[in-house]
Amino acid sequence: MAINDYRSTLNIVGWVLAATSTVFIAARLFTRTRISTTSPGWDDWFMLIAWVWAIVCTSTVTVGTTYGFGQHIGDIPNSEDQAHAAMYVLIAPLFSLASAFFTKTSIIIAFMRIMGRTVTWVHKLIAYVPIVLLLLTSMLSCGVMIFFCWPVQKAWRPTLDGTCMDPKVLDIVGRSVSAYNAAMDVFCALVPYLLIRNLNIPRKDKRNLIILMGGSIFGAVATIMKIVAMSTISNVGDITYSWSEITIWYLTENHVLIITGSMPALRPFWRTIYGRYSSYVSSSKSRNSFNPSSSNKKSESYHLPTIGSARNKANITNPYSVAMRDESSEESLETRMQRNEEDKREREAKKGQGDTESVEVILPKRPDGVSKARVTSGKDSGDGRDKRNRKDSDARIFVTTEVQVV
């Protein structure tokens, strides 16, 4: 069923996409200035300019809808409103073309920025020549729309004296420029694969960059839909209505390109958000895994206060009181302390007796009740005496231990 009034559709589509692109632009600038180690570059400034033109374009369309842009011109009762509505119909595409040019330029500059020192003159030629051609075709399209009639005002005030071009010129130029814009969108989607595949970075990073920077293919879809809608572009007699679908698609093209073109610059932002989310999930799991009520202890559970929470003093045990531990914990602690004390006394006794106990077990008993052990490290005792002052690795030690067996 045909729509007879596109005003609400133009405003809803335009401003929903405008709000989304604004969020992405703000996140991009925040990433460059607060998170990323690199400062804003030409690609960021060009994308910001593209966003400004896109907002101006959306605002122009909205102002036009107040005069009847989106309605059949015969349904607009006031002749002045008809003239103003037709004027805004012709002005808005100029801002759309400017936004599309700066967006694609930003994407190309971002490619060059990612490649860094690996960029050669061949890469620059492949990247910048299409941008120059896009600038020329956009200027041609703007010139045709501005000077479609002479004087210029005759385009929206048909009663004025003057001349106008054949409406088929709008059809030919509009489709040609839009087709080149679609080709540029496809070009911007394919260039990442051609340029990034040879970079010395992990394969996973290559794949992610190619996917992120290939998002301009969605802009190509919107441009193709705009070309399809241009079947009514030559109907200048009802221009306030016949250009409504075209307007919807070039608004979509502008903002979608800004959104997809900003995604590669937001990689540090997404990593920061994901890192904080993962940290939050991990800490939540840690808090949930700590369940003091499942313990067999008779003491009160520990209270873990959170920010803004109030302590219940009646349920908190004095941390310095013995009631914090039960009998089993006291006994285990006392047993460990006794064992440590006994080990300490044994070590001191061994140190004072010269390891008597260990040698006593090893040596055989002599009839006279005395056991002698001669432990020699080295080839002979003579070598040990001659090399006594050398380093530890070359030293030879002569030790004689007498043990009185009781």
Per-residue pLDDT of 142-200, as tens digits, reads 999 999 999 999 999 998 999 999 988 988 998 999 999 899 888 888 877 777 777 77
8 A C-beta contact, residue 216 and residue 107? yes
Instruction: Identify the pLDDT of residue 336.
Output: 61
Which of 222, 244, 272 is the C-terminal boundary of a domain? 272
What single-letter amino acid sits at 124? Answer: K
266 and 361 belong to one structural domain: no
Instruction: Identify the pLDDT of residue 292.
Output: 47
231 and 137 belong to one structural domain: yes
Per-residue pLDDT of 120-141, as tens digits, reads 888 888 888 999 999 999 999 9
Instruction: Identify the pLDDT of residue 3.
Output: 74
Classify residue 150: in a domain, yes or no.
yes
Which of 248, 272, 296 is the C-terminal boundary of a domain? 272
8 A C-beta contact, residue 17 and residue 251? yes
Residue with tokens 């009631």: 323
How many other C-beta atoms can be found within 10 angstroms of the C-beta atom of residue 89?
29
Q: What is the mean pLDDT of residues 196-206?
A: 76
Average pLDDT, whole number, for the chain?
Answer: 76
Which residue range forms the structural domain that includes residue 165?
7-272
Token duo for residue 100: 């599309």
8 A C-beta contact, residue 109 and residue 131? no
Tell me how far apart the alpha carbons of residues 26 and 35 are, in angstroms, rounded to a whole number: 13
Classify residue 245: in a domain, yes or no.
yes
More confident residue, 71 or 310: 71
pTM: 0.66
Per the structure, the count of domains in the chain is 2
CA angle 169, 170, 176 (to 5 degrees): 90
What single-letter amino acid sits at 117? Answer: R
59 and 188 belong to one structural domain: yes
Q: What is the mean pLDDT of residues 281-310?
A: 45
Instruction: Identify the pLDDT of residue 333.
Output: 52
8 A C-beta contact, residue 90 and residue 145? yes
Classify residue 37: in a domain, yes or no.
yes
